Amino acid sequence: MADVAVIAGSASDEDIVSKATSVLEEEGVSYDFQVLSAHRNPEELAAYVKGSEARVFITIAGLSAALPGVVASLTEKPVIGVPVAAGTLGGLDALLAIAQMPRGVPVACVGIGNGANAAHLAVRILKV
């Protein structure tokens, strides 16, 4: 069983994923990594989240950044969103999408591309 599930919306987010997983490895935190898009793989994403025993989810997404909100709608566990600098707005669109979740669907949001901070936050959550 992994303590943290790391989900990237695209394989192109590998650099941000590696920053997050490096911190998790340094801290001795077990994790599972998946590439699942809220738009391209909705059924697989839902099955993964609902079946996961992870205690925290780190979600990495750009542009409309639907992934963190979709994951948060499928679980009561903490979800951390990492906005990706993709497209013409440099990640601001993703940051705003993640930070503005509707009531009852909370998502923590770290800085654009900051996979390491997402992992540090996950470690702190696990220590509570």
In this prediction the pTM is: 0.97
For 38, the token pair is 């809220």
* Alpha-carbon distance values, 125 to 37, 57, 95, 102 (Å): 25, 11, 21, 22
pLDDT of residue 78: 98
- Can you give the pLDDT of all 128 residues of the chain as single tens digits? 999 999 999 999 999 999 999 999 999 999 999 999 999 999 999 999 999 999 999 999 999 999 999 999 999 999 999 999 998 999 999 999 999 999 999 999 999 999 999 999 999 999 98
Helix or strand (DSSP H, E) at 46: helix 42-51
